[in-house]
Chain A
Amino acid sequence: MNCQKIREQLDAALDDQCVISSQTNAPRHAEVLSHVESCLDCRVLYEEHLLIGTALAAWVPQRPTVDLTDRVIDAARQEGLVATVRSVVRPSPAESSPQGRNIWPTIATVALVLVAVAIVFRENPGTIAVNDPAQEQVVPDQPPELLRQPQDQVADISHLVADAQSAWQGITSRVSHQASGFSVFVPDLKNELGISDDLNSAPDSDDSSDDAVPRKSPEPSAVEKAFEFLFKDDDSAGTLTI
């Protein structure tokens, strides 16, 4: 074996983080020894090889401890590389589920219907103020043919309430169907307002599916009392006690 071959083998062994010795590779060690006995240069190289190989085996690299985390994060935040807390918040399971995502348009629809009902009532003040003496004084000069009979006005209110209830029931049944797992409050307008069946065109088919709907209490509710007070036939301005 020549000097070049010996040096290549010594370097190759160190590349693999080991030394050529009788323990690691006895045949090669014997070849190297037989060469270095007669070659002083290669003997020096082999001694260095053994020394550095032994030192590498005992070397525990010192990695200085440091914590630059906060410094780096602060610098990165100043450059806009760190997202704000809100933008990295993951959606909750309810929000990420198809049911959870679909509930918000429904709620918006409910809100719109309620606003529409409120506008209808607002634009027909006579239907509300039928027994209000103050409101009657506001429109004293209307022609008699335009003045509506009290029973017609009651019917109008009832139809409006029935329409609103119909829309409400349709929407709330969809909401309660979609929002399984939620406790949804769906008021039973029909029972609450005491509207008779002949004036109510809303379908009752979904009533049985709404288990979360609170049942009507045996005592008359505050809303019932209010309507009873408003739709009394006598003109006397009584007092309402709720």
Chain B
Amino acid sequence: MSEDVQLVQRCLSGDELSMRAFLGKYQGLVFSLCFRMLGHREDAEDVAQDSLVRVFRNLEKWDQQRPIKPWLLTIAANRCRTALEKRSKLPSQNDLAIDLASERREHSKHEQDQLDIGEELELALGELRDDYRTCFVMYHQEELSYQEIGEVLGCPQGTIKTWLHRARAQLARRLQERGVVADPSALETT
């Protein structure tokens, strides 16, 4: 029996310590996705909290034969989509939503000259379309497969593959626009 299965079974019995351990292990994952999708810290906290309570409420529905990470992210992604729909119906709320990219840009404006290529990538990520950014982060950060990302986002694998390809291409172009270049020696014949 896997460690996750044992932890979940203790959570199902209502053991608070186990529930806290579960949260310690997975709340960062859920919040990270919410923050990437919503681009606003307070909104992300609220949606992540809602998602995690839903996780505990529906924990018995998790198929213990499958990894738990995609299941958690599916719940979080669904809640984020619902939050984004509500936000789109409330135009005045758009003003309150701080765009993740501009927040990052403001935060690091004075440090832009010192950014390394990894930090440049993080900055460029904030400017991506939500779907592409989520897809890129799930693949490269959370290491989910195409199939798992497709289940989380409710899309076919082909769509995920296309989104990931476009995300990489757009990121590369943004990096080039900012003057970041690849190692030129790689383009030279040896």
Q: Which residues of B sit under 8 angstroms from A72, Cβ to Cβ?
A: 19, 23, 27, 49, 52-53, 56
| A71 and chain B: residue at smallest CB distance | B49
| A88 and chain B: residue at smallest CB distance | B15
Q: Is the CB of B117 within 8 A of A58?
A: yes
Q: Mark out the residues of chain B between 28 and 56 whose CB falls within 8 Å of any chain A CB in the assembled complex.
A: 28, 31-32, 35, 41, 44-45, 48-49, 52-53, 56
- How far apart are the CA atoms of A65 and B121 in the complex, in Å? 20
Q: Is the CB of A48 within 8 A of B173?
A: yes
Binds A, one of B65-73, B91-99, B178-186: B178-186
* Residue B2 at the chain A interface, CB threshold 8 Å: no
CB distance from B17 to the nearest CB of A (A): 8
Interface residues on B, range: 35 or more
Contact of B122 among A59, A67, A82 (CB under 8 A): A59
The binding surface of chain A is classed by DSSP as: helix
Contact of A54 among B41, B168, B183, B190 (CB under 8 A): B183
Q: Which residues of B sit under 8 angstroms from A43, Cβ to Cβ?
A: 187
- How far apart are the CA atoms of A17 and B176 in the complex, in Å? 20
Q: Which residues of B sit under 8 angstroms from A46, Cβ to Cβ?
A: 187
Q: Is the CB of B182 within 8 A of A66?
A: no
* Residue A75 at the chain B interface, CB threshold 8 Å: yes
Q: Which residues of B sit under 8 angstroms from A33, Cβ to Cβ?
A: 187, 189
* Residue A61 at the chain B interface, CB threshold 8 Å: yes
Q: Which residues of A line the B interface, CB within 8 A? A: 11, 14, 17, 19, 21-22, 26, 29-30, 33, 36-37, 43, 46-56, 58-69, 71-73, 75-76, 79, 81-83, 87-88
Given contacts A51-B172, A52-B121, A58-B116, could you give 16 more A-B pairs where the C-beta distance is less than 8 Å? A11-B165, A30-B189, A47-B172, A50-B186, A54-B182, A55-B117, A61-B137, A61-B140, A63-B32, A65-B28, A68-B45, A68-B52, A69-B24, A73-B20, A76-B19, A81-B14
